[in-house]
Amino acid sequence: MNRLVCLGLLTAAITAPAAAMDRSLIKQFKELDPQTRLEQRCDTEAMWEINAGKTLFKPDKVIAYTFADPVVENDKIQAPGAVFRSKGEWYKLKYQCSTGPDHIEVLSFNYTIGDLVPHDEWEAHYLYP
């Protein structure tokens, strides 16, 4: 399954609160290959963590690989070139995420929100409103 299909697969589910990860979302994650599952699970965690933080951001999409490829090692991913969309704007994001061996349970997660991505850069990075 390619990244674009995977992004679409989880769009509705990833806006739910972390506590609400139900069986259908877990089932969707388990249908992905392990590396894609790790990336998608950590992208989902990024959305939940940012939503839970004391910020004005309300992310509805996270992409781990926009400005740099993620670095994956076993059950960990570092996404130094990630982005998230909030209220129709894209923002740079860096995150580190560690999961259990099934890539469902998140064991640790840290993130840093970066700058707003200017609209004139969106097309070059396949970003959309």
Q: Where is average pLDDT lowest: 17-26, 71-80, 97-106?
A: 17-26
> Which residue in the block uniquely carries the two structure tokens 């894609």?
36
112 and 93 Cβ atoms separated by less than 8 Å = yes
Mean pLDDT of 73-97: 97
52 and 111 Cβ atoms separated by less than 8 Å = no
For the cut 70, the answer to whether the pLDDT of residue 59 exceeds it is: yes
Strands (E), the chain: 59-63, 71-73, 76-86, 89-99, 106-116
Question: Rounded to an integer, what distance in angstroms lies between the CA atom of residue 37 and that of residue 34?
Answer: 5
Q: In whole numbers, what is the pLDDT of the chain averaged over residues? A: 87
Assigned token pair, 25: 């979302």
